[in-house]
Amino acid sequence: MTPASVESLFALPFADLMYQAQTAHRRHFDPNTVQLSTLLSIKTGGCSEDCGYCSQSARYKTEVDNEALMPLDDVIAAAKAARANGATRFCMGAAWRGPKDRDLAAVADMVRAVKDLGMETCATLGMLRDGQAEQLADAGLDYYNHNLDTSSDYYDQVITTHTHQDRLDTLSKARTAGMKLCCGGIMGMGESREQRARFIAELAALDPAPESVPINLLVRVPGTPMGAGEALDPIEFVRTIAVARICLPTSYVRLSAGRTQMPDHLQALCFLAGANSIFYGEKLLTTPNPRASGDQSLFDKLGVRPLELTNETAQRSCA
């Protein structure tokens, strides 16, 4: 799939694009189920990298403080609460360029504890060095999240302290260690439609494709380089979800950050376009997220039900 062929999907009449996305979605998934994940920041702030969108970079003056790694008991308590609210996957994020060995050992303990609760596990810890992916896999980590963020030709407009290839190298390490991949990006960072198409083509070119594809709408954080700017057109965002669904037909497409900016009817369009996973809970890493009660109310309006974790779904790719 070439960037040009992906861009041609973006250019389709909206009804035709949605029809293709719905067709692809129904071929591989129950269109009336949504997978629920909960994301917890286990180590917040103080990151050395210069990602232009990120509230946790030590290079920017934001309201996020540098905090130590959370204690194991607190992580277990949060995972139990997430499970009680219906989440089937628990995702742990740490604001590091990459984990030190002593920190990785502590995270491995967290992974084991969450697995013992019967939940799927995911972690986003930055770039991995040789041997670290294997340690996480041995602890039982199901998914490693490492987003491409944007297209290779726009990447240095967003991040300069590491490269697009660095991202690909970490994804390769995680895949080689036997973990599934959670890999997506952020829309609305000033990229063009052509660059959004290239980004989706680059995701689809990963072999195999990521099992989970989070599509984030930029949350503009004051104090970051991307704290101000023109918002992405909502229909263009829905088009992006639909194109991702068509190009990544067997992946779970997660409607991720930015949902607090989306009214119910816009989220409904995103589900119609093929999104079938969300982050569930009142907070992402540092940004707000809709209340679980609000999400349940929306699901009731749409006739959507949460995906239940069964033996079959536990073995299948899930996001």
Kindly list the catalytic residues.
Answer: 47, 51, 54, 91, 122, 182, 254
Decide: 181 and 212 in contact? Cβ < 8 Å.
yes
- The bridge status of strand 143-145 relative to strand 305-306 is unpaired
CB-CB neighbours of 205 under 10 Å = 12
Per-residue b/e over 45-71, b at no fewer than 16 CB within 10 Å?
bebebbbbbbbbbeebebebeeeebbe
End-to-end Cα distance, the chain: 23
DSSP state of 286: S
Strand 120-124 relative to strand 180-182, pairing: unpaired
How far are the Cα atoms of 28, 42, 96 from residue 147, in angstroms, in the given order?
A: 23, 18, 14
- Asked whether the CA dihedral 69, 74, 75, 78 is positive or negative, the reply is negative
